[in-house]
Amino acid sequence: MLAPIKTVSIVIPARNEQDTIGPVLDALNTAIAQLPQYIFETLVVVDSMEDQTIHVAEAKGAKILLNDKLRGKGNALYFGFNKASGEVIIIFDSDGSHDPADVGRFLEALEKGAGLVIGSRVMGGSTDHDVIRLFANALFTVMVSILFRTTLMDTLNGYKAFRKDVVMGYKPRTKGFDVEIEIVAKAIRKGHTVVEIPAHESRRAGGQMKSHAIRDGFFLLWACIREGFNYQIWRLFHPRASKRATAKPV
């Protein structure tokens, strides 16, 4: 039986998000104040000093991590993971698309035994999807489900919570948005139960979208192929462990 969770690190990658990071942190601070049973730290990872993101985030009580040598969402997240002190990590977007009120439900699912919890836009809905993003999310989620024998519905959503050991003990290979695939793959290979909860995605509150359909689509595709191949090889040598690597919506 897993020990009760005491400490939680919220890692927020933020590049040039001075218009959104303030309201995001205000809402997040309000939400975590309703969860006094946990000790939280909020880490904002910044890889650019081109605007006032750092100063706004500091004023809201966040700890700033400057990672200006390696750009990309994956690099920012792993930089934050290595600095996080919590037993549990929650990754949270800086653009206002995630609802901080869901934090308690993520932690509840982890307390019940999940190793990785994904916020599903399929179950929770989205007001920020276009046709290209919908197609890409469906395509890569189906690929992951086939390659890893899961029943996941929203692999790519960046709203995730997991036990810290999911992202420890290996050298990350992703630099950008393909980090979402790698996190899921590592959780499954480590034998964690992966679950989904409904999470609504709101339209970006300001600033500019950082993803690029063609460029990031290529890296997502390669991550699916690479991690799926590695998983199939791993299963040959860990047949019992692979049976525990289940994924299910809750």
Work out whether the CA dihedral 56, 57, 59, 60 comes out positive or negative. positive
Distances (CA, A) of 139 to 32, 43, 78, 135, 210: 34, 32, 25, 6, 20
- Average pLDDT for the chain: 87
The residue type found at 151 is T
205 assigned to some structural domain: yes
pLDDT score of 41 more than 90: yes
Give the per-residue pLDDT at 115.
95
Query: Above pLDDT 90, what percent of the chain?
Result: 53
106 assigned to some structural domain: yes
Six token digits for residue 33: 């104040």
Give the per-residue pLDDT at 64.
96
Enumerate the β-bridge partners of residue 135. Answer: none
pLDDT, mean of residues 168-185: 89
Six token digits for residue 5: 């969770």
51 assigned to some structural domain: yes
| Number of domains the chain contains | 1
2 assigned to some structural domain: no
Give the per-residue pLDDT at 34.
97
Give, as one character, the DSSP assignment of residue 44.
E
Which CATH number fits the domain that encloses residue 184? 3.90.550.10
Quick one: how far is CA 193 from the chain centroid?
16
**198-208: pLDDT as tens digits:** 999 988 767 66
Six token digits for residue 192: 């964690």
1 assigned to some structural domain: no
Burial of 82 (0-12, 13-18, 19+ CB in 10 A): exposed
60 assigned to some structural domain: yes
pLDDT score of 211 more than 70: no
The domain of 235 spans 7-249
Burial of 144 (0-12, 13-18, 19+ CB in 10 A): buried
pLDDT, mean of residues 114-140: 83
189 assigned to some structural domain: yes
pLDDT score of 129 more than 60: yes
108 assigned to some structural domain: yes
pTM of the model: 0.89
pLDDT score of 2 more than 90: no
